[in-house]
Amino acid sequence: MIRVAVCDDHAIVRKGLTQILSEVGDISVVIEASHGGDLRQRLRDTPCDVVLIDIEMPGKNGIEVVALLKKEWPKLRAIVLSIYPEDQYAVRALRAGASGYINKTSAPDKVIDAVRQVASGRKFISVEVSQALADAVAGEAPELPHQSLSDREFQVLKLIAHGKKLSEIAETLALSPKTVSVYRARIMEKMHLAGNVDLARYAITHNLLDGASSG
């Protein structure tokens, strides 16, 4: 039996994933968590084989949580879920220690296949992710300004580009407005942008607005 933890701040998503996975005989959802801290606390009492975790949650994002999980439970396999396309977050997730990346629009069978595959010790990587990884290894993919950002900075960039105010971003990410302001300053400096209009224009040009602005 493959023991699975589902971590997403939206109860409907958690219940949906649990229902999908519970319909097969070799998978059991033993943990449902709403954020990274909740997940880590529950894992200390309930062993798991695979974690399905969303990227955008209050506090630490999914990629940051995966990095922490790999340090505390090296054998734990993690699959990152997101509404965002593979080319935006998948390589970041894999570098953090994830064993797979799935878009939330994927068919239920794909989620089941991913859980089974990573539980067996293999990676679950789509054709799009495979190409991105191959290009990165071969040095054929020139680094764009936004690719130099940390995961949290990239997350803030996308929210700003969606028109969110700093106070709204702070609430979404469970950060202080001052901290969000610091992230914004770092983004502008690293990307050599003058303000939010330039940032939004950049995001549109590089197709970074695909997907929802949260979750």
pLDDT in tens, the chain (215 residues): 999 999 999 999 999 999 999 999 999 999 999 999 999 999 999 999 999 999 888 778 898 899 999 999 999 999 999 887 776 778 888 888 999 998 888 889 999 999 999 999 999 987 777 766 666 665 555 567 887 888 888 889 989 998 999 999 998 888 889 999 999 999 998 888 888 888 988 888 887 876 444 44
pLDDT at residue 53, rounded to an integer: 95
Q: Where are the beta strands (DSSP E) in the chain?
A: 2-7, 27-33, 50-54, 77-82, 100-103
- Identify which of 46, 94, 44 has the alpha carbon closest to the alpha carbon of residue 67: 94
Query: What are the residues whose beta carbons fall under 8 Å from the beta carbon of 106, sequence distance 6 or more?
Result: none
Q: pTM for the whole thing?
A: 0.72
Residue 54 backbone dihedrals phi, psi, to 5 degrees: -75, 155
pLDDT at residue 20, rounded to an integer: 94
- Superfamily of the domain at 2-138: Response regulator (3.40.50.2300)
* Strand 2-7 to 27-33 pairing: parallel
pLDDT at residue 58, rounded to an integer: 78
CB 62 within 8 A of CB 150: no
Helix and strand element counts for the chain (H, E): 10, 5
Give CATH for domain 145-205: 1.10.10.10
pLDDT at residue 78, rounded to an integer: 96
Geometric angle at alpha carbon 18, from 12 and 19, rounded to 5°: 90
CA distance 196 to 72: 38
Tally of CB atoms within 10 A around 57: 27
pLDDT at residue 187, rounded to an integer: 92
Residue 24 CA to chain centroid, in angstroms? Answer: 25
Tally of CB atoms within 10 A around 119: 20
List, edge to edge, every strand of the sheet that includes 2-7: 27-33, 2-7, 50-54, 77-82, 100-103
pLDDT at residue 212, rounded to an integer: 42
Domain locations in the chain as residue ranges:
2-138, 145-205
Which sign, positive or negative, has the C-alpha torsion 50, 57, 147, 212?
positive
Tally of CB atoms within 10 A around 49: 19
CB 185 within 8 A of CB 153: no
